[in-house]
């Protein structure tokens, strides 16, 4: 298993300068970071709202996400924004047990290593979304190492982490819901000798197949007035960030309307 990154071929010194300027300017950075958090919380809210309409007990989490979303505009620092996002994720994941069933109940998000089957699915799905966002960034002139919500660092494509926050709820999470609620993923798809915290080869293949199907699904884009796939939607998000950086149009993160 490996990751392959192309040499950068779409270079723009002008855009790199603009990107760095927005990172160094605290006010400009904060405006972009707020949009990533707004998109993440809104799309998580929409996921839970679908289950609320089915009568699932998710009201407390929905109420908490709604309040946290209002709080984003009042944030005055990146650190506070990250705290809001972390709090939102805690409430979001708490609701999973209401509609994923007892075997996939999630008490706490644990990453390294995942401590149960649901955490394993979330970690694997998030890694796919991150890779997707990075690949779409490479098709633009954006520099993947200069980010706004997450802190840039050595050997870290942190802009992909920023964009992934917006799309994890509507891509990987919805794949997880489909796999679990349709009884497609089971204990046999996890490595028993590692306490079921990692997917085995069949489990990974099943997840990736469903993830690819999700990426090829199309939705009616409200502004373009045509159908685009979810894969294209991520590329369009990159273009929106570029437009913001060159001061052509303010960036508004993608927010699911269903």
Using alpha carbons, list the distances in angstroms from residue 222 to 32, 46, 114, 253: 21, 17, 37, 13
pLDDT for the residue numbered 7: 62
pLDDT for the residue numbered 2: 59
pLDDT for the residue numbered 122: 92
As a 3-state breakdown, the chain gives helix, strand, coil percent values, each rounded to 5, of: 60, 5, 35
Alpha-carbon span 84 to 63, nearest angstrom: 14
Alpha-carbon span 102 to 109, nearest angstrom: 16
Q: What is the mean pLDDT of each run of 10 residues along the chain (258 residues)?
A: 62 88 96 97 96 92 96 95 95 90 71 78 94 93 94 83 96 95 89 75 94 93 85 95 92 89
pLDDT for the residue numbered 9: 61
pLDDT for the residue numbered 202: 93
Alpha-carbon span 219 to 102, nearest angstrom: 32
Instruction: Please count the other Cβ atoms lying within 10 Å of the Cβ belonging to residue 45.
Output: 25
DSSP strands (E only) in the chain: 218-220, 227-229
Residue with tokens 């972009």: 32
pLDDT for the residue numbered 60: 95
pLDDT for the residue numbered 196: 58
Alpha-carbon span 243 to 237, nearest angstrom: 10
Instruction: Please count the other Cβ atoms lying within 10 Å of the Cβ belonging to residue 94.
Output: 18
- Which of 31, 14, 114 has its CA nearest to residue 76? 31
pLDDT for the residue numbered 252: 95
């Amino acid at each position: 298993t490996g990751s392959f990154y192309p040499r950068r071929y779409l270079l723009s010194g002008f855009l790199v300068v603009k990107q760095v300027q927005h990172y160094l300017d605290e006010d400009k950075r904060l405006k972009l970071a707020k949009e990533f958090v707004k998109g993440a919380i809104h799309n998580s809210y929409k996921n839970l709202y679908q289950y609320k309409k089915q009568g699932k007990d998710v009201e407390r989490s929905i109420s908490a996400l709604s309040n946290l979303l209002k709080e984003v505009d009042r944030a005055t620092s990146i650190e506070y924004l990250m705290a809001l996002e972390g709090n939102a994720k805690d409430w979001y994941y708490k609701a999973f047990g209401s509609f994923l069933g007892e075997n996939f109940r999630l008490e706490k998000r644990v990453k390294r290593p995942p401590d149960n089957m649901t955490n394993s699915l979330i970690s694997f799905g998030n890694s796919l979304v991150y890779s997707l966002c990075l690949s779409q960034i490479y098709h633009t002139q954006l520099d993947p190492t200069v980010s706004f919500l997450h802190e840039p660092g050595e050997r870290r494509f942190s802009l992909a982490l920023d964009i992934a926050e917006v799309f994890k709820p509507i891509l990987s999470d919805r794949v997880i819901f489909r796999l679990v609620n349709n009884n497609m993923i089971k204990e046999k798809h996890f490595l028993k000798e590692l306490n079921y915290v990692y997917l085995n080869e069949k489990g990974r293949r099943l997840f990736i197949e469903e993830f690819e199907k999700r990426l090829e699904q199309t939705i009616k884009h409200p502004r373009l007035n045509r159908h685009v796939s979810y894969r294209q939607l991520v590329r369009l998000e990159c273009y929106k960030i570029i437009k913001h950086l060159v001061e052509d149009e303010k960036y508004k993160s993608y927010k699911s309307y269903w």
